[in-house]
Amino acid sequence: MASSKVQFAASRAAKSSLGIFLTAVITVPFISVVHRIFGGFWEVNWRLAFAFAGILAGCFFLFFFISQLLEASRERERERSHRLAFPAAMWLRGLYLFTIVMGVAIMNGTYREGDSWWVVTLPAVFVLLGFFAWPRAIEINATEIRQRGPFLNLKKITLNEVESIYLDAGRGETAVFGRNGQRIVHSMMHVDGKRFIDQMESHTGKTVTLSELE
């Protein structure tokens, strides 16, 4: 992998993790005020606070760094295979996967502890959130644009039946409308937004219209 890609990934990850670190540190004075109001003292363990902020920032750095490297690798793979696929951003897929795994792990733990059924099933919210909120990949081939739903239902629009393409710049969404009544939306959570627009204009001969989507 080119060193420039590694440096870019490290730079992006460092910026994100630095923001996490500063946010964690800034919350310390507020915690001190809470202690004063409810506990009657101002004392704050700064060493522990900075250690926690550092560990949290380090975890986020690793997460974003690995996500950026995987994103770059997948992008090169798509380019080599000439496959026009637009999945969710890698960091988002990692986040939703973590949510699903965490929900399953908590459910398993509470079940083994013999907790009541509602305690066991409550973490299913995390599983459902990760599964249904996960943006499904969009694919463009020689004849159609398609996207599978959460229940493997397939939405597709034949390229010669694309009626219009709208871009909501404020929300970062590009919507493709077909004569069959289907709508496929490339959101800001998907990769390669500009490439998606270029490919749709190239394959359909349509011009993207700026508009606010409902």
115 shares a domain with 70: no
User: Among 64, 82, 100, which residue terminates a domain?
Assistant: 82
76 shares a domain with 1: yes
Say how many domains are in the chain.
3
Instruction: Quick: pLDDT tens for 109-135.
Output: 888 888 888 888 888 888 888 888 888
1: pLDDT strictly greater than 60: no
* Closest CA relative to residue 197, chosen from 207, 183, 212: 207
Give the pLDDT band of residue 65 (cuts 50, 70, 90): confident
Instruction: Quick: pLDDT tens for 175-203.
Output: 999 998 999 999 988 988 898 999 999 99
Q: What is the pLDDT of residue 164?
A: 92
2 shares a domain with 46: yes
Most confident by average pLDDT, 89-93, 132-136, 144-148: 144-148
111 shares a domain with 96: yes
